[in-house]
């Protein structure tokens, strides 16, 4: 009885481990039918080893174990392998050969003189030679890998320098006005339901499960914002993604350990050379080294990746996010000793019960909007002619202001309630402040591409620019924040083999 219970426990443990592995592979976009077949093969192997029945375990290993091992190796090399794994894998092969050589040498020592002893001795010598040779290859390959990565980095540097020299660069204007520039730092690939399906069951654990099964994907922009303030210097709201995240993804996330690389998608970011944060800041006429402050709406990596380029900046964020958000340490390595966690002790601000007047002059107000992450915050910036409200990921796009009709995937439970409360406060603030305009981090609608990009092309919207943004809002949303006809998002699949789909508004 105890033996049977032990076998059942081993089977349950094996199923859990295999299930976690299959989830990782699904995150890597391995087709579902292939995963089902592979999972059944693994289950058959474990069950066969525990209860071989009329089969011997040797036959189970031959007919199920060998195919499972080959399938695992093939899948690993197809979807998980990264170039920096090469010396590690060769080193493991060297260690295996040397261990086998040691075992063969022990067996030879126990044998009496004769053909068997000589055979084991020869095997030990051959395995030891192979181990030494593989060890040498591992050492050499480590250098080759680093040289290849250096060459790829140099190619990226060349592409960025070419983008810097392209026509259209500007000079900084210093006339005492507050300026804001949207910086499109590339795109991220997300599931359509994750972006627009919060009212269709994409919530909490079931929502995350659906991201594994439903691969209807779209590309959405990742925006950061550069602020030129005559009194407080050059600042940013968020920092977008960086070049390595888009072009050396596995290497970037391998800084944190293999598990981070396994649990992120290799193709989740896209970035053209001209979208690099360093390039765009320079082409606007600014020196990235002069950015003194980054207001981070939250710690998620598509907002924090650009911190790698801002080691001199003070990063202002809510401590709840630092303590409990989803943090990728490598993005913060260069700024972790220069973090500022403000207290929201400046009283009410518009529709918000708490706020932080960061500079003490009302120019920059930090507003707690938890829900998307534990310490998410929004930033209100006073400008000539109006005020900009940087919304981060509380709401992804302008249509998301109609939170009763369009909603992104939410965490669930109290976090969803907090996020909806933050959305209502944003609505109330915009209703009370007719010269305030929302600025989003991922807006993939004509609001960002057409209106915001035009109004902020010089960084100086003025009263006319703020009114233009508000007029566009009025064409999309009613005063009670419901969608007008023609503005509901709809997923349009891509042609076979063409990659991500697109969104139309109908």
pLDDT at residue 116, as a whole number: 63
Mean pLDDT (the chain) is 92
Query: Looking at the whole model, is its pTM more than 0.85?
Result: yes
For 393-426, the pLDDT digits (tens) are 999 999 999 999 999 999 999 999 999 999 999 9
Query: What angle do helix axes 32-50 and 2-27 make, rounded to 10 degrees?
Result: 160
For 90-119, the pLDDT digits (tens) are 999 999 988 888 887 887 777 676 666 667
**310 Cβ contact partners less than 8 Å away, ≥ 6 residues apart:** 236, 239, 288, 291, 294, 334, 335
Residue 2 confidence class, pLDDT cut points 50, 70, 90: confident
The alpha-carbon radius of gyration of the chain (Å, integer) is 28
Low-confidence winner among 8-12, 450-454, 466-470 (lowest mean pLDDT) = 8-12
pLDDT at residue 162, as a whole number: 96
Residue for token pair 């303590």: 323
Q: Are 220 and 442 in contact (CB under 8 A)?
A: yes
Query: What angle do helix axes 2-27 and 204-213 make, rounded to 10 degrees?
Result: 70
Strand partners, 190: 218
Q: Are 270 and 186 in contact (CB under 8 A)?
A: yes
Alpha helices in 372-477 (DSSP H): 413-432, 446, 453-455, 462-476
Note the residue count of the chain.
Answer: 506
For 426-460, the pLDDT digits (tens) are 999 999 999 999 999 999 999 999 999 999 999 99
Burial group, residue 56, by CB count within 10 angstroms (0-12, 13-18, 19+): exposed
Residue 120 confidence class, pLDDT cut points 50, 70, 90: low
Q: Where are the domains of the chain?
A: 2-81, 166-505
For 200-257, the pLDDT digits (tens) are 999 998 888 888 888 899 999 999 999 999 999 999 999 999 999 999 998 898 877 7
Determine how β-strand 386-390 pairs with β-strand 436-439: parallel
What percentage of the chain has pLDDT greater than the value 70?
A: 97
Q: What is the mean pLDDT of residues 9-16?
A: 90
**25 Cβ contact partners less than 8 Å away, ≥ 6 residues apart:** 35, 38, 75, 79
For 168-188, the pLDDT digits (tens) are 999 999 899 999 999 999 999
166-505: CATH topology is: Metallo-beta-lactamase; Chain A (3.60.15)
């Amino acid at each position: 009885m105890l033996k049977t219970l032990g076998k059942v426990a081993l089977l349950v443990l094996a199923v859990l481990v295999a299930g976690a592995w299959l989830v990782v592979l699904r995150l890597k976009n391995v087709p579902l039918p292939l995963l089902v077949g592979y999972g059944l093969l693994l289950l058959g192997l474990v069950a066969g080893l525990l209860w071989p029945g009329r089969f011997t375990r040797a036959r189970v290993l031959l007919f199920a174990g060998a195919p499972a091992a080959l399938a695992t190796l093939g899948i690993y090399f197809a979807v998980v392998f990264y170039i920096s794994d090469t010396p590690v894998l060769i080193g493991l092969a060297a260690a295996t050969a040397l261990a086998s050589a040691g075992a063969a040498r022990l067996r030879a020592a126990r044998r009496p003189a004769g053909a068997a002893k000589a055979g084991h001795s020869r095997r030990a010598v051959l395995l030891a030679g192979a181990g030494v040779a593989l060890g040498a290859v591992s050492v050499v390959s480590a250098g080759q890998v680093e040289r290849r990565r250096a060459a790829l980095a140099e190619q990226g540097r060349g592409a960025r320098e070419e983008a810097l020299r392209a026509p259209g660069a500007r000079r900084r204007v210093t006339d005492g006005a507050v300026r804001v520039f949207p910086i499109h730092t590339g795109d991220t690939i997300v599931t359509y339901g994750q972006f627009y399906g919060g009212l269709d069951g994409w919530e909490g654990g079931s929502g995350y499960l659906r991201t594994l099964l439903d691969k209807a994907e779209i590309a959405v922009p990742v925006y950061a914002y550069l602020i030129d303030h005559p009194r407080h210097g050059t600042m940013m709201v968020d920092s977008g993604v960086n070049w390595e995240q888009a072009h050396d993804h596995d290497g970037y996330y391998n800084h944190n350990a293999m598990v981070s690389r396994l649990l992120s998608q290799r193709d989740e970011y896209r970035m053209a050379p001209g979208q690099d944060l360093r390039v765009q800041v320079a082409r606007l006429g600014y020196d990235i080294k002069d950015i003194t402050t980054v207001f981070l709406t939250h710690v998620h990596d598509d907002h924090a990746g650009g911190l790698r380029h801002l080691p001199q900046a003070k990063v202002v964020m809510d401590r709840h996010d630092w303590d409990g958000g989803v943090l990728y340490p490598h993005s913060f390595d260069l700024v972790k000793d220069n973090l500022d966690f403000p207290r929201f002790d400046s009283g009410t601000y518009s529709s918000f019960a708490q706020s932080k007047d960061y500079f003490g002059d009302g120019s920059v107000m930090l507003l707690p909007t938890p829900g998307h992450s534990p310490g998410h915050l929004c930033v209100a910036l006073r400008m000539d002619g109006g005020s900009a409200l940087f919304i981060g990921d509380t709401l992804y796009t302008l249509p998301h202001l109609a939170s009763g009709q369009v909603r992104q995937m939410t965490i669930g439970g109290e976090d969803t309630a907090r996020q909806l409360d933050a959305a209502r406060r944003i609505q109330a603030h915009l209703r009370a402040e007719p010269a305030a305009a929302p600025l989003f981090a991922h807006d993939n609608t004509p609001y960002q591409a057409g209106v915001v990009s035009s109004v902020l092309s010089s960084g100086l919207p003025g009263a006319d620019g703020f009114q233009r943004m508000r007029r566009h809002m009025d064409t999309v949303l009613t005063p009670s924040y419901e969608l007008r006809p023609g503005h509901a998002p709809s997923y349009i699949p891509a042609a076979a083999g063409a990659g991500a789909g697109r969104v139309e508004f109908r």
